Structure 1
Amino acid sequence: MVRIGAIVWQVSDLGRAREFWRGALGYEATPDNPDFLADPRGTGPRLHLDTGDRMHLDLWAEDAAEQRAEVARLVSLGARVVEDWTYPEDADFVVLADPDGNLFCVIDKSA
């Protein structure tokens, strides 16, 4: 089953937001991206700081098969796949909308 892997947080100033959320949560920047903050104890979701992406949840699946199954399961619960999304060629995510139109992504963590 998917889990909340990250919360994407829209901010206007990455540096200011990074310092604030690091102090507020005790999170640390991940080695691969200073705008991805993680709990050093390994609990809780990551916080992704982004100036362009609107706020949403990233749900993590362990691999592509689980991602496909979870997308189907979520659609059966009332979500819809956002068909008009422009994906990069190597996308590891599928964009869905919940019944109220709130966007979220299902990420293939193995990609």
Structure 2
Amino acid sequence: MDRRLQIVVDAHDPRGLGAFWADVLGYVEEPPPPGFSTWEETLQGWGLPEDRWNDAYAIVDPDGGGPRLFLQKVPEGKVAKNRLHLDVGQPGRARGEEPDKPAVRARADELVARGATHVREFDDPAQGFWIVLQDPEGNEFCLV
């Protein structure tokens, strides 16, 4: 059985939201398949009409360690709180290590400038420190 993990995100604008998440995660656009030098060439070669080129988009961890994030176009918008969300840590921070609160806040500010929405900051001695954000299409995630 294949045990790879892919995270799928419904979106109105897969490419736009994918670019946002690539920035959040330090990911890159998935390379086109063998035999093609660009995605435009690939989609043309597959005969996909240009108005469908933003139906899906994928980003990957450039180091190959993280899961693939696949964004697919859907007609409906998000209407309720996520039942699943991502916790995104700071690069170089080990699990269990205290967060650098100013660095987490600065990163949150950067992501707000890229289209995220600041929802709430938590700083609880028993549970820890994190900031809840929403991506440009309203999906909640936490910076930890």
* TM-score normalised over the length of structure 2: 0.34
Higher relative contact order (CA 8 A, sep 6+): 1
Larger strand percent:
1
* TM-score normalised over the length of structure 1: 0.43
